[in-house]
Amino acid sequence: MTDTTYVGAVDQGTTGTRFIVFDHGGQVVANAYETHEQIYPEPGWVEHDPIEIWENTKTVITQALGQAGIAPEQLEAIGVTNQRETTVLWDADSGRPVHNAIVWQDRRTTERVEELEENGAVETIRGKTGLEPDAYFSATKAEWLLDEADPIKMERARPADIRDRAQAGDVLFGTIDSWLIYNLTGNHITEVTNASRTMLYNIHDLEWDDDLLEEFSIPEAMLPEVRPSSDDETYGTTDPDGFLEAEIPIAGALGDQQAALFGQTCFDAGDAKNTYGTGSFFLMNTGNEAVASDQGLLTTIGFQRSGEPVQYALEGSIFVTGAAIEWLEDLSLIDDPSETAELARSVDSTDGVYVVPAFTGLGAPHWDQRARGTIVGMTRGTRKEHVVRATLESIAYQTRDVAEAMEADSGIEMTSLKVDGGAVKNNYLCQLQSDIIGSEIVRPVVDETTALGSAYAAGLAVDYWDDTDSLRDNWQVDRTFETTMDAETADARYNRWLDAVERSRDWARDGEE
């Protein structure tokens, strides 16, 4: 059966949507991708059009299957993975969004978070959710949408009744996984890892938290049902009269970073991975224990299989890494990301230049919403090669920020780190990362581990794969990078990086964006 059947994964990311079909060996047999528009209504605001995302999802599924000559009926299941925290509200009757989705990078609710801090709510939120209160998470985004969303898109609503309709369950809330599952199956569902990123979900009691719902004025009636990441009961099936013309189980979902943890087969406590995408996200499995962080990391849910307890994780969220490479393109310093390694190698060092890409503030372990992008150390002799190299180095330094915090919280010395994401195709960056962090970097053969993780979750739910041991057997190393820089040099450069970070902090003040 598995010779002619497959599992598909919708990988809905910050800049685009991908559909990948995997075979039983975990190898890619079909792959299609579409970008979507990045909408910037005001400085610090970032939005996506949920309808565009859904239309692109249908397009990439159809394209991938068509290119590989695979019939929809040959899919045993579909998994979903998604940009986390990005928030959508939609009308239950029409299925139309109330407003554009507010993206995880969006900072419009910074003042609301500062109000929470002033009111002494930080410890309560951290204790219940494992999260550091920040505009990054979904709660303040949903609150803003209920208070401020333009009702015109609802066609029938008056400005005063969005909250009333939400109270009645006629306006629905979801992160992008919920939006896609709803459109694929008609069911209003999320799963535990995405729920754990909303700042509304108690990760210890495993339920929506009444106190937090009251704090943010979020009606419980608008919230999705929370299910396991790999769900034997499935979330529903695609509509046989819909675009696929087949009933395919939607059986697994994970937020993108937890999906990468699952795809890298980090199933045991102490296993760690770092994903290099628009941002970078460093996760360590802590098993059945929710380890509280003293170092500015997040305690989050790693994954849950049906009938099993949740697995927790420590996470370091770095807001800008791959996006910093895109910024180099925006400035016309490079024409293509592939140029960065050659340009960086063409100079012996950054010549004292440090780039802190705090374009949307600083995430873990610093958590400064008002930090902004900074370049320090420039002279008349600074060339673009120095800036490009410094930008690549900033990715490695930010990862060390998190690695040191991770080791301090967990008590586990990191000797090996699994990596994935688009940027790890850059050998120069992987070697630099090994040198700066002082540990082995391991890159797998299949680097689309985010999609692979959600495919694994869905496939396990429908018995396409027997157990996690068979998934470990699929995992193969492409290349290992060993440290070549002496520790003293790495430490000196890293300490200078920390000086640069200090200069980026608390820059964006009211009226001075």
Residues in the chain: 513
Is 119 marked as binding a ligand?
no
Measured CA to CA in angstroms, residue 189 lies from 185, 205, 278, 297 at distances of 10, 18, 26, 27
Is 81 marked as binding a ligand?
no
Cα distance between residue 472 and residue 263, in whole Å = 9
Is 278 marked as binding a ligand?
yes
Measured CA to CA in angstroms, residue 199 lies from 127, 141, 195, 203, 207 at distances of 11, 10, 8, 10, 12
Is 483 marked as binding a ligand?
no
Is 40 marked as binding a ligand?
no
Helix orientation angle between 256-263 and 449-461, rounded to the nearest 10 degrees: 80
Gap between the terminal Cα atoms of the chain: 58
Is 350 marked as binding a ligand?
no
Is 426 marked as binding a ligand?
yes
Is 257 marked as binding a ligand?
yes
Half-sphere exposure of 341 (CA within 13 A, CB side): 11
User: Torsion over CA of 455, 460, 465 and 468, rounded to 10 degrees?
Assistant: 100
Q: And the tokens for 384?
A: 């673009």
Helix orientation angle between 110-118 and 122-129, rounded to the nearest 10 degrees: 110
Residue 212: exposure state from Cβ atoms within 10 A (0-12, 13-18, ≥19): buried
Cα distance between residue 158 and residue 153, in whole Å = 11
Non-local (6+) Cβ contacts of 228 within 8 A are: 191, 192, 304, 305, 306, 308
Answer for the pair 57, 64: CB distance below 8 angstroms, yes or no: no
Is 476 marked as binding a ligand?
no
Q: And the tokens for 474?
A: 């699929």
Measured CA to CA in angstroms, residue 343 lies from 326, 346, 378, 386, 387 at distances of 15, 5, 17, 8, 10
Is 14 marked as binding a ligand?
yes
Non-local (6+) Cβ contacts of 311 within 8 A are: 267, 285, 286, 287, 288, 301, 302, 303, 304
Peptide bond into 309 cis (omega under 30): no
Measured CA to CA in angstroms, residue 378 lies from 189, 223, 384 at distances of 51, 50, 11
Measured CA to CA in angstroms, residue 245 lies from 62, 72, 77, 302, 396 at distances of 11, 8, 14, 34, 46
Q: Residue 398 CB: number of other CB atoms within 10 A?
A: 30
* Known binding residues for sn-glycerol 3-phosphate: 14, 84-85, 136, 256
* Known binding residues for ADP: 14, 18, 278, 322, 422, 426
* Known binding residues for glycerol: 84-85, 136, 256-257
* Known binding residues for ATP: 14-15, 278, 322, 422
* Known binding residues: 14-15, 18, 84-85, 136, 256-257, 278, 322, 422, 426
